[in-house]
Amino acid sequence: MSGSDTPQGVTAIEAALLTMPLGPGVYRMLDAKGDALYVGKARSLKKRVTAYTQPVRLDERLRRMVNETASMEVITTHTEAEALLLEANLIKRLKPRFNIVLRDDKSYPWLMLTEDHPYPQIAKHRGAQVRKGSYWGPFASAWAVNQTVTAMQRVFLIRSCADTVFANRTRPCLLFQIKRCSAPCVGRISEADYAKLVGQAKAFLGGKSATVQRELAAEMEHAAGALEYEHAAAVRDRIRALTFVQGSDVVNPASLTDADVIAAYQTAGQTCVQVFFVRGGRNNGNRAFFPSHTKTEEAPGVLSAFIAQFYDDKPPPPCVLVSHELEERELVAEALSLKAGRRVEVLHPQRGEKRAVVAHAETNAREALERKLAESAGQAKLLEGVATLFGLPAAPERIEVYDNSHIMGANPYGVMIVSGPEGFVKAAYRKFGIRGPVMPGDDFGMMREVLTRRFSRALKAQAAGAPASEWPEVVLIDGGAGQLSAARDVLNDLGVQDVKLVAIAKGPDRDAGREWFYTDGMEPFQLPPRDPVLYFLQRMRDEAHRFAITTHRAGRSKTLRVSELDEISGIGAARKRALLNHFGSARGVKMAGLQDLEATPGISHEIARRVYAHFHPGVRIEAGD
């Protein structure tokens, strides 16, 4: 191949090789706009990247990637394990389209036992672990952690109420009556005895349930021997609850203490990865993932990429069981050990209970992928029905639905939801705080503002080279002929001609199933009450309505949290909290006398006078008052 025939991408890679280090690290291939096409790691950067200068030896996907490469960036690391961790972090953050990408933006719940109170609280926790306490998890879902909290209450009688509720109790709550709390709030248990319960709970969560059970059995026998039959019966009930929680089977494997079980199943060019969280010998739930990758990727490669990205923002357990033998299993284990600060094993079990657990996870992965494919097939058929109904040349890839919500013009919001071949695309949902002004009931004005803002931005993004997938083929609006006309005027003003506008109006008496559809080029029409496409369009309309209402409520709640105290100069968050805690509400502060204000902890004489003067502008305050 002559120099003039060398592809531009190869030329860019060869230029980068001139200064490419030999050691381990991570490389990024960038397109002409500077966006990452691919992120890779290597034990020797120069040797690995050199392979890209010979396109004839690459598969079609990599040849396309090389052709689009305009420049490269390199980050060196001390070891290949560090490079693997950095690669996973960059892939998750940049989402390069030629990588296997894990799309997981959800946080995982943990179980928390507080340690900053004489009587620790057990609670579900998400987010940064800033409060002093012991954290156990992660759990696959809120349901899983709630089940564990309930079990912990039944066995160990630990309180779940907030500290503020605890401080203001004068008699035991219902949880004490149903034997799920020891009522430390009203002194029904000593601090020492409560601490013993907490210690047993921590031992149980740490996988020492047999030890806890022996302690409870000894306590029951001692109470019975001392003729304390009521106490013995209470301990017996706790033992029964503990025995129920400890049930051991393939879902709660006795041979595993702390481990994650990760299994992949492939079909039709797609992969489902199922993860089971096992902590303290108990199943903390499972979750299915569908990584984005090309159809040629094999399961072991997908699994390796998945594991590296999955543990980017969470601590790995001591043991990870996998369904396929990974090509770089030792390297993956080294990287996870580096991240955890202790040894982590990555095992591919062949027999025994561990193999049964992995097989169970594989079954769940297969069933989840089959459900997804069935749903996708059903979704594709419905989208074809939409195309036929509205005369589209092909099934739409993106449908946008718009709605708005307000109360007599107050706290107005417009929303956009998106649906496509995979169902609702919640990551693409958008909220529009109406800037207005909006007259009460002016839904047309709200819709005009929302569509103007949405499509003005879309046109700018399109001019900058945004993917065509972000442009809708169908726009569905909740309303009738008037809303359709308002929407058409907006799109005509912006020069948008390639979007099918449809308005869906509620029928007589607002009955579902009797909706009227309005669109250009067709007379208004109704669909048969049991038409699947009608149900599909109704479901999208209802999802937009739900999103609009929840957005409006959140905005209204935020407004209601703004207190009249915020209008007083010198009253910041701390003084506002002090006043509200002392008087109970802004109304209580307003009704308080000057001496009462001065007696508030954290409120100085000068601030008290300022607050009193704000609420009593006509009252003169003497210097000695």
**What confidence tens digit (pLDDT) does each residue in 460-500 have?**
877 776 666 788 999 999 888 888 999 999 999 999 888 99
pLDDT of the residue at 256: 77
CA trace torsion 438, 439, 441, 443 (10° rounding): -30
pLDDT in tens, 523-553: 999 898 788 899 899 989 999 999 888 877 7
pLDDT of the residue at 576: 80
70 versus 154: which is more confidently predicted? 70
pLDDT of the residue at 105: 62
**198-210: average pLDDT:** 82
Specify whether the CB–CB gap between 53 and 13 falls below 8 A.
Answer: yes
Indicate left, alpha or beta for 386 from its phi (over 0: left) and psi (-120 to 50: alpha): alpha
Q: What is the DSSP string of 176-212?
A: HHTTS---GGGTSS-HHHHHHHHHHHHHHHTT-HHHH
Specify whether the CB–CB gap between 221 and 236 falls below 8 A.
Answer: no
pLDDT of the residue at 261: 94
pLDDT in tens, 137-193: 888 888 888 888 888 888 889 999 888 888 888 888 889 888 889 999 999 999 999
CA–CA distance, 118 with 187 (Å, rounded to integer): 12
| CB-CB neighbours of 486 under 10 Å | 19
pLDDT of the residue at 400: 96
| CB-CB neighbours of 206 under 10 Å | 17
CA–CA distance, 512 with 527 (Å, rounded to integer): 11
Peptide bond just before 440 cis, omega within 30 deg: no
Residue 349 has pLDDT above 90, yes or no: yes
Looking at domain 259-370, which of 1.20.1090, 3.40.210, 3.40.1130, 3.30.420 is its CATH number? 3.30.420
pLDDT of the residue at 154: 83
CA–CA distance, 555 with 553 (Å, rounded to integer): 5
pLDDT of the residue at 444: 84
Q: Which of 35, 12, 92 is nearest to 465 (CA)?
A: 35
Residue 588 has pLDDT above 80, yes or no: no
Residue 25 has pLDDT above 90, yes or no: yes
The class of domain 3-94 in CATH terms is alpha beta
Specify whether the CB–CB gap between 484 and 501 falls below 8 A.
Answer: yes
On the question of a common fold for 259-370 and 399-558, the answer reads yes
What is the chain's mean pLDDT, rounded? 85
CA–CA distance, 27 with 21 (Å, rounded to integer): 11
Specify whether the CB–CB gap between 156 and 201 falls below 8 A.
Answer: yes
CA–CA distance, 68 with 13 (Å, rounded to integer): 11
**367-388: average pLDDT:** 88
pLDDT of the residue at 350: 92
Specify whether the CB–CB gap between 414 and 548 falls below 8 A.
Answer: yes
Specify whether the CB–CB gap between 102 and 305 falls below 8 A.
Answer: yes
Cα torsion 78, 83, 85, 90: sign: positive
**241-259: average pLDDT:** 63
CA–CA distance, 599 with 621 (Å, rounded to integer): 17
SS3 for 569? coil
pLDDT of the residue at 560: 46
Q: What is the 3-state secondary structure (H, E, C) of 151-170?
A: HHHHHHCCCCCCHHHHHCCC
CA–CA distance, 517 with 389 (Å, rounded to integer): 11
Q: Which of 91, 87, 14 is nearest to 49 (CA)?
A: 14
**430-444: average pLDDT:** 76
pLDDT in tens, 100-142: 888 776 778 888 999 989 999 998 888 888 889 889 888 888 8
pLDDT of the residue at 587: 72
Specify whether the CB–CB gap between 142 and 124 falls below 8 A.
Answer: yes
pLDDT of the residue at 441: 65
271 versus 2: which is more confidently predicted? 271
CA–CA distance, 503 with 486 (Å, rounded to integer): 11
CA–CA distance, 56 with 52 (Å, rounded to integer): 9
CA–CA distance, 192 with 198 (Å, rounded to integer): 10
- Please, which contacts does 194-203 make with residues 24 or more away whose CB atoms are closer than 8 Å? 194/119, 197/156, 197/157, 197/158, 198/113, 198/120, 198/156, 198/158, 200/156, 201/113, 201/122, 201/152, 201/155, 201/156, 201/158, 202/113, 202/134
Residue 203 has pLDDT above 80, yes or no: yes
Cβ within 8 Å of residue 71, ≥6 positions away: 12, 16, 30, 34
pLDDT of the residue at 255: 67
574 versus 259: which is more confidently predicted? 259
Cα torsion 277, 281, 283, 284: sign: negative
Kindly report the length of the chain.
625
- If one looks up domain 399-558 in CATH, what number appears? 3.30.420.340
| CB-CB neighbours of 518 under 10 Å | 21
Specify whether the CB–CB gap between 506 and 480 falls below 8 A.
Answer: no
Residue 346 has pLDDT above 50, yes or no: yes
Q: pLDDT above 90 covers what percent of the chain?
A: 39
Could you state, in order of their start, the residue ranges of all structural domains in the chain? 3-94, 110-207, 259-370, 399-558, 564-615
- State the Cα angle at 577 between 574 and 579, rounded to 5°: 110
- Sort 463 into a burial class: Cβ within 10 Å, 0-12 / 13-18 / 19+: exposed
User: What's the CATH superfamily of 564-615?
Assistant: 5' to 3' exonuclease, C-terminal subdomain (1.10.150.20)
Lowest mean pLDDT among 64-68, 252-256, 483-487: 252-256
Helix and strand tally (H, E) in the chain?
20, 18
Residue 248 has pLDDT above 70, yes or no: no
Q: Tell how strand 270-279 and strand 282-289 pair up.
A: antiparallel
CA–CA distance, 448 with 482 (Å, rounded to integer): 11
Name the β-bridge partners of 289.
273
**213-242: average pLDDT:** 79
CA–CA distance, 480 with 506 (Å, rounded to integer): 8
CA–CA distance, 382 with 527 (Å, rounded to integer): 14
Phi, psi of 466 (to 5 degrees): -65, 150
pLDDT of the residue at 511: 57
567 versus 66: which is more confidently predicted? 66
Q: Please name the residue that has the structure tokens 């199933």.
A: 513
Q: How confident is the model at residue 2 (pLDDT cuts 50, 70, 90)?
A: very low
Q: How confident is the model at residue 253 (pLDDT cuts 50, 70, 90)?
A: low
Lowest mean pLDDT among 289-298, 387-396, 488-497, 574-583: 574-583
Specify whether the CB–CB gap between 488 and 525 falls below 8 A.
Answer: no
Tokens at residue 64, please? Answer: 């396309």
**604-608: average pLDDT:** 87
pLDDT of the residue at 402: 93
